Amino acid sequence: MTRMLAALLLSLAATATCASEAANIRASAAWIRVLPGDLPAGGYVTLQNPSTQPATLVGASSPSYGMAMLHESSRAGGMNRMRMVEKLVIPAHGSQMLAPGGYHLMLMHAKTPVAPGATVRITLTFADGSALPVDFAARPAGALGPHD
Ligand SMILES: [Cu+2]
């Protein structure tokens, strides 16, 4: 009987720590920078993880764009570079910023022109397969942040 109870408690504990990664993440200050023509837009967001489990961002998709990728910008030898990032960890009790000059979403092939002021839905996907839909505010090419 005691053994059964222990097994039951163990399974309950396992369930409690298996909340989906997406459910643990809080997204804020989500915006995209819209560039003219068919130039890709950068997507930026702050991801907070108040949970006790790390979450790993592995991709993104949007009904407004043909392709969305995770990128990192850097400067090396006076050159701006970008590279693809396969995954980005949001640590337990921590946060990760996607911001100009660093990690960002690269949104390509807008299906229809996205105007500044519009809202673009982007779904973030995590390593456990869970998904977090986030509304991003479209901002003009000169914007520095979600509000300026
Ligand atoms: Cu990029």
What CATH number does the domain containing 28 carry? 2.60.40.1890
- Total domains in the chain come to 1
What is the residue type of 48?
Answer: Q
- CA 67 – ligand 1 centroid, Å: 12
pLDDT of residue 15: 54
* Residue 51 within any structural domain of the chain: yes
Per-residue confidence at 52, pLDDT binned at 50, 70, 90? Answer: very high
- CA 29 – ligand 1 centroid, Å: 19
| Mean pLDDT, the chain, whole residue set | 92
* Residue 5 within any structural domain of the chain: no
Q: Are the CB atoms for 22 and 39 separated by under 8 Å?
A: no
* Residue 94 within any structural domain of the chain: yes
Q: What is the mean pLDDT of residues 58-76?
A: 95
* Residue 16 within any structural domain of the chain: no
- CA 14 – ligand 1 centroid, Å: 38
Per-residue confidence at 148, pLDDT binned at 50, 70, 90? Answer: confident
pLDDT of residue 83: 95
* Residue 10 within any structural domain of the chain: no
Pick from 96, 79, 99, 74: nearest CA to 87: 96
- CA 101 – ligand 1 centroid, Å: 9
- Catalogue the E-assigned strands of the chain: 26-33, 41-49, 55-61, 65-76, 79-84, 88-90, 94-98, 103-110, 119-126, 131-139
Write out the residue range of the structural domain in which residue 46 sits: 21-139
Name which residue leads in pLDDT, 84 or 10.
Answer: 84
* Residue 146 within any structural domain of the chain: no
Does pLDDT of 11 surpass 70?
Answer: no
- CA 107 – ligand 1 centroid, Å: 8
* Residue 115 within any structural domain of the chain: yes
- CA 49 – ligand 1 centroid, Å: 24
CA dihedral 8, 9, 15, 17 (to 10 degrees): -160
